[in-house]
Structure 1
Amino acid sequence: MSLVGRPTSKDVAQEAGVSQSTVSLVLGGKWRGRVSPATARSVRGAAERLGYRPNLAARNLRLGTTQTVLLMVPTLTAPFFGPVYTGAARVAARHGFGVVVSTWPDDAVGPADSPFAAPDEAIDGILASSMAVEALGEFRETPAVMLDSGPDGRPGGSVPTVDFGVADGMRAIAAHLADLGHRRIGHVAAAVDQWTFHARADALASAVAALPGGNLTRAACAIDVASAKDAAGRLLDGPDRPTALVCDDDLIAAGAYKAARARGLDVPSDLSVTGFDDVLLAIALEPELTTVRLPAEELGAQGMTALLDLLAGGRPAPRVLPGELVVRDSTAAPSTGRPPSSRGGGRRV
């Protein structure tokens, strides 16, 4: 058969000797029980020989949907957000959806800009990770689910949320350090105006305040090693040096390690250090890092599940995913404290 231009479903039907509706059933995956397996093989063979590809834009126009979801994240360089995408894409693919990614940085001001000329025509919904609901901006009419962004506290707020139990995670870290005998605790805090870091700071402050003789000092930094090293150094050079540093992120903990070693302090015999997230860096550090494991891939998967429910007319309830305290070799009793309690493994928080 001689074809001019892109082959159509009509060409495939003629090549296979079937109707166009049969081609649509087979290539749309809806042929079982309606078309024989032999006919389905014939149609797929004809499509392959002709190099036919379905016109997805035309199909979506007929359906009134793009089958596309936008995932918005603060950055593509942080290792945390890769698994979030993986989880979202896995669930989306099972339902015939695709996921595209755009960034809206932590320090951006005002509502997010759309990467599309007409957002409502380009995407069906949004997963927005680690950003305030107000940042949805021109997406405010688009169905959305907020990830790791905190409850929708606006009057009448109704954007579904999937969050981590970060406050419980920080309380678990504080309890672990307290059990080891630590009372002077330094917080190397992320200088990022996000709900997740505010929740961590508040939980740690409350936990340390409840300890007899508890004392908390804090220094803020960007989420990078150099800035974290400087912030940790300020705490370690203070008049009442902490015996443990609690870091808001595993990358921040790497900076704390550098600050300790620059001062001749051994981790953990002279200084305990903890992180948060449990990315691959946590076991690349020496000693391996005590941290809170957050199920990033499950966050993406649960977020996509909630969004698909929303798109189908449902009203998904808020979800909170627990973290897990993973105790490794970066924490021990302070040199003047009592011996450490049993360590290893992890527990849900």
Structure 2
Amino acid sequence: MARAAGVSQATVSLVMGEKWRGRVSERTAEAVRTAARELGYRPNLTARSLRLGRARTALLVVPALTNEFFARVYTGAARAAAEHDMGVVLYPSPEGTGPARDPFASARATLDGVIASSMAAEALTDLREGGLPLVMLDSDPERTDSPPTVNLDIADGMRQVTEHLLALGHRRFAHIAADIDSWTFRVRAHALAEALRGTAGTVLRSEPAALDVASGRLAAERALTADGTLPTALICDGDILAAGACKAARRLGLRVPDDVSVTGFDDLPLASALEPELTTVRLPAEAVGEAGMRALVAVLDGRAPGSASLPVELVARASTTVAATS
């Protein structure tokens, strides 16, 4: 390649290693790149990795791929990784949605670091002891032993939902709550209770549900048939649960939103496929993946990434309206 470009081997190394600026002219750098294209040159990433002491691979651990949110997180992480000539290995938990088993012991030697989403702290013990760099997604940033975190402003999302429903006159609420012990769902429950605390005359009951349509339907049926006054709004921890809640209302002869309003969380494609379309909170999943990957790269480069909280947005659609009077 040096012969074809009419330069020294050292110059080729500088250009192909992206270290030429200030040392080689733009014209010379372009000559080297042109020679590389004409000769079909491809960098030896294995050799580069050995030289830099990196595997150039990150592990992304997600609870499951059955929820499109996590597939979008991967898309964002992979896009950011490509900007740094890195790859991303995806590890979905065999347990489904919930804490993932520890996958690190066998893979540690071939990884630069890990981005872990919604995992139980116990699953990270071996990783922390092994010193492999870690960035957490959807994790409590207030923990004293917490690694860098990238979170969505989940609390604000639930506040937006609650304020939207209060403005429509709703005062009787049922929370269809994901029955998963993780930071993100604890935050939702706490934020909902806090948002209602300052409004007189509000009633809130909670029905736990596994994160699937059938469980959401059963939990909503319990909320809508319990002794006492019918709730006028069902606040669901996810769009999947909200789909189940809409089915429950129809089975009980109730109309959404005339008799009961329903809200979700995530803004999956499902939200606009439902009829009526679902009021929900839009979560920028790809941005989460990108931010997680960039935070990990910062750690690998010896920089302090800090912790990030990404904004979320209420999307009001036809599944909510003015509270029914009764």
TM-score over 0.5 (shorter chain) = yes
Which residue in the other structure is 2:263 paired with? Answer: 274
Where does 1:73-152 land on structure 2 (aligned, <5 Å)? Answer: 73-104=62-93, 105=95, 112-114=102-104, 117-119=106-108, 121-140=109-128, 141-152=131-142
C-alpha distance in 2 between matches for 1:99 and 1:44: 26
C-alpha distance in 1 between matches for 2:8 and 2:231: 77
C-alpha distance in 2 between matches for 1:130 and 1:107: 9
The residue type paired with residue 284 of structure 2 is: P
Do the aligned partners of residues 118 and 324 (structure 1) sit closer, same or farther apart at CA in structure 2, a change above 3 Å counting? closer
CA RMSD of aligned residues (A): 2.5
Unaligned runs of 5+ in 1: 1-11, 338-349
Where does 1:102-251 land on structure 2 (aligned, <5 Å)? Answer: 102-104=91-93, 105=95, 112-114=102-104, 117-119=106-108, 121-140=109-128, 141-153=131-143, 156-239=144-227, 240-251=229-240
TM-score norm. by structure 1 comes to: 0.83
Higher helix share: 2
Aligned match for 1:322, one of 278, 286, 311: 311
- Pairwise CA distance, 1:98: 1.6
Which residue in the other structure is 1:333 paired with? Answer: 322
C-alpha distance in 1 between matches for 2:305 and 2:20: 33
Do the aligned partners of residues 314 and 158 (structure 1) sit closer, same or farther apart at CA in structure 2, a change above 3 Å counting? farther
Aligned match for 1:41, one of 34, 42, 48: 34
The residue type paired with residue 38 of structure 2 is: G
- Pairwise CA distance, 1:150: 2.0
Contact 2:12 2:32 (C-alpha < 8 Å) held by counterparts = no
- Pairwise CA distance, 1:126: 1.2
- Pairwise CA distance, 1:268: 0.5
Do the aligned partners of residues 20 and 332 (structure 1) sit closer, same or farther apart at CA in structure 2, a change above 3 Å counting? same
% same residue = 53
Contact 2:4 2:35 (C-alpha < 8 Å) held by counterparts = no
Deviates more, 1:17-26 or 1:325-334: 17-26
Deviates more, 1:284-293 or 1:99-108: 99-108
Which residue in the other structure is 1:8 paired with? Answer: none
- Pairwise CA distance, 1:71: 0.9
**Deviation by residue 1:178-200 (Cα, 9 ceiling, x = unmatched):** 11111110111111111000110
The residue type paired with residue 253 of structure 2 is: G
C-alpha distance in 2 between matches for 1:76 and 1:109: 13
Q: Structure 1 segments of 4 or more deviating over 6 A?
A: 12-19, 107-110
- Pairwise CA distance, 1:67: 1.4
Do the aligned partners of residues 113 and 36 (structure 1) sit closer, same or farther apart at CA in structure 2, a change above 3 Å counting? closer
Unaligned runs of 5+ in 2: none
C-alpha distance in 1 between matches for 2:164 and 2:140: 25
Which residue in the other structure is 2:59 paired with? Answer: 70
- Pairwise CA distance, 1:53: 4.9
Contact 1:276 1:293 (C-alpha < 8 Å) held by counterparts = yes
- Pairwise CA distance, 1:152: 4.7
- Pairwise CA distance, 1:59: 2.1
C-alpha distance in 2 between matches for 1:182 and 1:76: 35
C-alpha distance in 1 between matches for 2:256 and 2:249: 7
Task: Please identify the structure whose Cα radius of gyration is greater.
Answer: 1
C-alpha distance in 2 between matches for 1:38 and 1:180: 66
- Pairwise CA distance, 1:157: 1.3
Does residue 253 (structure 1) correspond to residue 242 (structure 2)? The answer is yes
C-alpha distance in 2 between matches for 1:102 and 1:187: 31
- Pairwise CA distance, 1:21: 4.9
TM-score norm. by structure 2 comes to: 0.88
